[in-house]
Structure 1
Amino acid sequence: MRAMKLAAPLVAALFLQACASAPAMPKPAALPMPAMPAAASTEGSIYAAGAMALFEDQKARRVGDTLMIVLVESTSAQKKASTATSKDSNASIDGPTLFGRPVTVNGVPVLEAELGSTKTFKGDGDSSQSNKLQGSVGAVVMQVLPNGNLVISGRKQVQINQGSETVSIEGIVRPIDIRPDNSITSDRVANASISYSGQGAVADSNVMGWASRFFNSGWFPF
């Protein structure tokens, strides 16, 4: 009877945990918006110096303009190392002599010694890594450099069920590399910083527990 009383709270806790709702995903922090220059007022003319020309294309060229970054990232790296060393050492010590004869005990020379050692080391290492990222991310022109290049920053977050995926990119683009449809491939972005991360149940399933991390770390003595 006492065991039933002790087991009842545990069973109730398990049922309550199964009925618990999934935690709400945190909202992404707002991206900093570029400081837009104040529009200078003009008098006596219907044209403004900073306005778009009549036959001008729609490419991004000013602070606050947007453009599309097409992600075409694909990298592959491989490294292999091999080391082999070997060392042999030999030394012999002759026994002493007395009146020109070796000192023996029961006919066996004494104090004679031979030393020898062999050291061998062989190590092999092989490492390879590859990644592929495709998609598109909208970006905003944050700054126009003196030479006309554009500093851009963009981020996209997609939330599905109990997880979210976030792609962000920052870098510098040349206006000449922007295509007529106001897009540019990511391999044309200089000083590119591209990150892809996820949160939620799918991302958590790819993380080792603390015990597994300990046994696979350098702190594990074996």
Structure 2
Amino acid sequence: MKTTRILCLSLALTACARVDHLGRPPELTSPRETEEFMAMVNPPLDLPIGSGRPEAAASLWSGSTSALINDRRAAIRGDILTVVIEIDDRAEISNSSGRSRSSRESASIPQMMGIPQRLANKLPEGASFDELADASASSSYRGNGNISRRDKLTLRVAATVIDRLPNGSLHISGTQEVRVNHELRELTVSGFVRPGDIDRNNEIAYDRIAGARISYGGRGQISDVQQPRYGQQIADILLPY
């Protein structure tokens, strides 16, 4: 009984995620609740030379990373850069295996110092030492496997530097939400990049992000219809057939 109550409570809590768009579009996440916003409002303590100093306003030289011949690139906590995602992967794996075996064994004692002939009269009718044992066995196995997969995704998303690691690498994170009618599309990207891999347009390709985590999905009425009900998902896990 206690287990049933816990199961019902967990189902109720899980279903609450869909209540926010019951009869209306799903709510957008507030940008002020993200790690990117916290990185922008809490800059690092080691500010670049020249920034934030009173005498910098009267000087012709600016200590910022901007220059006359190139664009400013993300380098410190709170800076923004563009992540270019162009995934076009294809994987095909095919293998086959086969195995067969056949064996036959037979044994007979037609002559053995006259003993079989002496005992033949005592054997049941139809029994004989001429064909004492006869056995045969055979087995065969064949397996085939084929995997074919194609992934293609082309996106661009702005990410924010949320931390600068001791070795100089940048920890970036970016989110994007687009709502169309009652469906919300969500895109998230995070990982670690080297400042030198950021090009002059302040962009970086996804294949230069270490530990990249890219998620593209959505939530809303259409996504709910495409997913099996929670009861069906639980039944698929518990039922052994």
Q: Report the TM-score when normalising by structure 1.
A: 0.73
Are the structure 2 counterparts of residues 31 and 127 from structure 1 closer, same or farther at C-alpha, using a change threshold of 3 Å? same
* Matching residue of 1:9: none
> How far apart, in 2, do the equivalents of 1:57 and 1:208 lie?
49
Are the structure 2 counterparts of residues 213 and 134 from structure 1 closer, same or farther at C-alpha, using a change threshold of 3 Å? farther
Provide the identity percentage. 26
Opposite residue 74 of structure 1, the aligned amino acid is D
SS in 2 for 1:109: coil
Unmatched 5+ stretches in structure 2: 1-21
Establish whether residue 36 from structure 1 lines up as the match of residue 43 from structure 2.
yes
> How far apart, in 2, do the equivalents of 1:203 and 1:89 lie?
57
> How far apart, in 1, do the equivalents of 2:110 and 2:227 lie?
70
Are the structure 2 counterparts of residues 147 and 49 from structure 1 closer, same or farther at C-alpha, using a change threshold of 3 Å? farther
* Matching residue of 2:28: 27
Establish whether residue 109 from structure 1 lines up as the match of residue 128 from structure 2.
yes
Structural RMSD (CA): 3.2
Opposite residue 163 of structure 1, the aligned amino acid is E
Deviation of the 1:168 alpha carbon = 0.6
Establish whether residue 161 from structure 1 lines up as the match of residue 168 from structure 2.
no
Opposite residue 129 of structure 1, the aligned amino acid is R
* Matching residue of 2:16: none
Deviation of the 1:54 alpha carbon = 5.4
* Matching residue of 1:80: 94
> Which protein is richer in helix relative to its size?
2
Alignment size in residue pairs: 200
> How far apart, in 1, do the equivalents of 2:143 and 2:238 lie?
18
* Matching residue of 1:141: 161
Mapped contact 1:214–1:220 kept (Cα < 8 A): no
* Matching residue of 2:84: 70
Deviation of the 1:53 alpha carbon = 4.9
Report Cα offsets for 1:131-184 as digits up to 9, x if no partner.
111111110011223443322110111111111111111112233332322222
Instruction: Compare 116-125 and 202-211 and name the one that shifted more.
Output: 202-211
Opposite residue 126 of structure 1, the aligned amino acid is N
Opposite residue 25 of structure 1, the aligned amino acid is P
Opposite residue 94 of structure 1, the aligned amino acid is S
Instruction: Compare 118-127 and 56-65 and name the one that shifted more.
Output: 56-65
> How far apart, in 2, do the equivalents of 1:195 and 1:164 lie?
14
* Matching residue of 1:118: 138
SS in 1 for 2:200: coil
Establish whether residue 91 from structure 1 lines up as the match of residue 92 from structure 2.
no
Deviation of the 1:211 alpha carbon = 4.7
